[in-house]
A and B are shown apart, each in its own frame.
Chain A
Amino acid sequence: MKKALLLSALLALSSVGVSAKEWKEIRMASEGAYPPFNEVSADGALKGFDIDIGNALCAEMKAKCTWVKQEWDGMIPALMARKFDAIVASMSITAERKAKVDFTHKYYASPVVLIAKDGSPLRPELASLQGKKIAVQRGTVSDNFATKYWDGKGVEVVRYGKQDEAYLDLKSGRVDASFVDYWEAYAGFLTKPEGSGYAVAGDQYFGKNAEERAVIGEGIGIAIRKKDKELKEQLNKALDAVRANGSYDEIRKKYFPMDIYGQ
C-alpha cells in the first residue's frame, strides 16, 4: 500500500510537476456548445452551470482554475494527452468511459429523452421507432444507446457533430426525432423559441435494467485521469461541501426552477 502510494506520488511529481498531496492549479475543460450547462459568451469565454460549478469547487478547494474550450469528440483523448486536468462538461458517467477515465460523484442526474413534434406518438422504444430516422450527437450517451439498441434494427440513427445541427434537421423535417440528454433538450431547445411546437415524446428514460443504465450513465460527473487520485478526492470533498453549504443550490437556481440532482 505504502509502496503504491509512493509510486503514484512519484508519478504525479515527475509527470505533472504538481504536489501529489494537493492540487493548487487545475485546468478544467468544457465544450461551450451545451447551453445552459456550458456555452461561449459574447467575449469568447466559457460560461454556464458547469463552469459555475467548477469555479465553486475551485473556490472551495482554494485552487486556481483555468478553463480550456475543447470540442466534444476529442474531449477524453485531450484529457489523456494532458491538455487539461478535469472535464467539467456535463459528461455522463458510463461504464465505457470509466474504462478510460475516472469520475467524481455525480453533480446532477441526467435521463435521456426523445424529442419530436408536440403530440407525436413516438416513444423511446425499438417497436415505436421502426422506419424512423433518429438524430443523435456523435459520441454522446444517447448515441451509444441508440447505436447499441436501435441502429440497424429498423431504425436509422443519424449522427451529428453538434446537437444544434440535430435540432436544425429535426425542425426541417430531415429526421423524425432526436434522442438526447433531457437537460440539454430542456434548456437548449424546449424552453427556447426555436423549440416551440416540440416536446418530449414518451417519458424521461433512465434505462430499464442494469445493462441499459450502464450505457445511459449514472448521472453527470467530472472526469479526471485515472492516476490523479488526489484530484478526485479533492473534487469529491469539495462537491460534498458545496452541496451542504447551499452554494450548489444557489447556482442551480440561476438556471433551473426544479431540482436537478435527483436521488
Chain B
Amino acid sequence: MEWFDLTVVTGSLPEFWRGLWMTLHLTAIALVVGFGFAVPLSIARLSKNPWVSAPVRAYTYFFRGTPMLVQLLLIYYGVGQSEWMQGMWEAGNPFWLLFRDAYFCALLAFTLNTCAYQLEMFAGAIRNTPHGEVEAATAMGMTRSTALRRIILPSALRRALPPLSNEVILMLQGSAIASAVTLVDLTGAARNVYSRHYAPFEAFIFAGLLYLAVTFVLVGLFRVAENRWLAHLQPRRSASAQKD
C-alpha cells in the first residue's frame, strides 16, 4: 500500500490517543453540563411568563442560528482581545483567567451550544406530552410541579432519547473544531501528524476511524437505553402477538 504508510500512524499513536482522550472528555463534559442546564431551561422556555421564556428563546435563537466555530472563535479570540479582559488577566482575577485557557473556552462554547439544542429538544418533547397523561395527573390531585416532576418530565425525557442520540453524535463530530483554538484533540493530533509527515490519508483516515469507532459505541449505548426506557413506545413483539 504505497498510498498508506502505516508507520506514520504507528509512530504517532501516543499523540492520537492523547487527542482521542481530549475529544472524549471535552465532548462528555460539555454534554453532561449542557444537559444539567437544558432540563430546567426547557421548562423556562415553555413558561407563559414572557419575562422567563423570552431570554431563553433569545439564547437558543443565537446559539442554534450561528455556527459553533463562530461561537468558539468569538469566545476565544474575541474575548482575549479586549483590553479590559487583558487587564483582568494581568491582575490575576481567577474567574476571568479561565477565559485565557483554551480548554475552558472550548468547553464553554460547546456547552452553551449543546445546551441550546438539548433545551429545544426537551421543550418540544414536553409540549408533545399526551394530554391524557397530564389530565390523569391532575385527576390524581397532583399540583402542576408534582405532575411535572413525576409525570411530564420523565415521559418527555424518554421520548427525547432518539433526538438526543443525534445531538450526542453531532457534538462528538462538532468537537473537531477545538483544534482551531490550539487544543490538540483527535482532529488536532491528525493535523499535527499530517503537517509533520505531509501524509493526509494516513493522518485523517486513522482519525476518522477512531471517530467512527466512538460513534459506533455511542449508537450501541443509545440502543440499549432506548430498549430500556422507551420499551413502552415500541411496537409489540411477536411473543405478545402469539397470545392474541
A residues contacting B by CB (< 8 A) are 73-74, 76-77, 80, 100, 138-139, 143-144, 147, 158-161, 165, 168-169, 171-174
B195 touches A138 (CB 8 A): yes
A174 touches B100 (CB 8 A): yes
Given contacts A73-B195, A139-B195, contact A172 B182 (CB under 8 A): no
The 23 listed contacts between A and B (C-beta, < 8 Å) are: A73-B194, A74-B200, A77-B200, A80-B198, A138-B191, A138-B192, A138-B195, A139-B196, A143-B195, A147-B196, A159-B182, A159-B192, A160-B182, A161-B180, A165-B77, A168-B80, A168-B81, A172-B80, A172-B85, A173-B86, A173-B100, A174-B80, A174-B100
Main secondary structure of the interface of A (DSSP, over half): helix
Residue in chain A with minimal CB distance to B180: A161
Q: 3 nearest interchain CB pairs?
A: A139-B195, A172-B80, A73-B195
Q: Give the distance in Å from the alpha carbon of A100 to the alpha carbon of B197 in the complex.
A: 10
Q: Give the distance in Å from the alpha carbon of A239 to the alpha carbon of B160 in the complex.
A: 66
Given contacts A77-B200, A165-B77, contact A172 B100 (CB under 8 A): yes
Q: Give the distance in Å from the alpha carbon of A159 to the alpha carbon of B190 in the complex.
A: 13
Main secondary structure of the interface of B (DSSP, over half): helix
Indicate if B90 sits at the interface (CB-CB under 8 A): yes
In this complex, the member of A77, A100, A144, A160 whose beta carbon has the largest number of chain B beta carbons within 10 angstroms is: A77
Given contacts A138-B192, A144-B196, contact A173 B89 (CB under 8 A): yes
In this complex, the member of B100, B184, B200 whose beta carbon has the largest number of chain A beta carbons within 10 angstroms is: B200
B77 contact set on A, CB distance < 8 A:
165, 168
B81 contact set on A, CB distance < 8 A:
168, 171-172
B179 contact set on A, CB distance < 8 A:
161
A160 contact set on B, CB distance < 8 A:
182
A161 contact set on B, CB distance < 8 A:
179-180
Q: How far is the CB of A218 from chain B (nearest CB, A)?
A: 19
Contact string against A for B residues 172-188, beta-carbon threshold 8 Å, 1 for contact and 0 otherwise: 00000001101010001
A77 contact set on B, CB distance < 8 A:
198, 200
Q: How far is the CB of B207 from chain A (nearest CB, A)?
A: 14
A172 touches B86 (CB 8 A): yes
Given contacts A74-B200, A158-B182, 15 further A-B contacts (CB under 8 A): A73-B191, A77-B200, A138-B191, A144-B196, A159-B188, A159-B192, A161-B179, A168-B77, A168-B81, A171-B81, A171-B86, A172-B80, A173-B86, A173-B100, A174-B102
A172 touches B89 (CB 8 A): yes
Q: Give the distance in Å from the alpha carbon of A172 to the alpha carbon of B192 in the complex.
A: 24
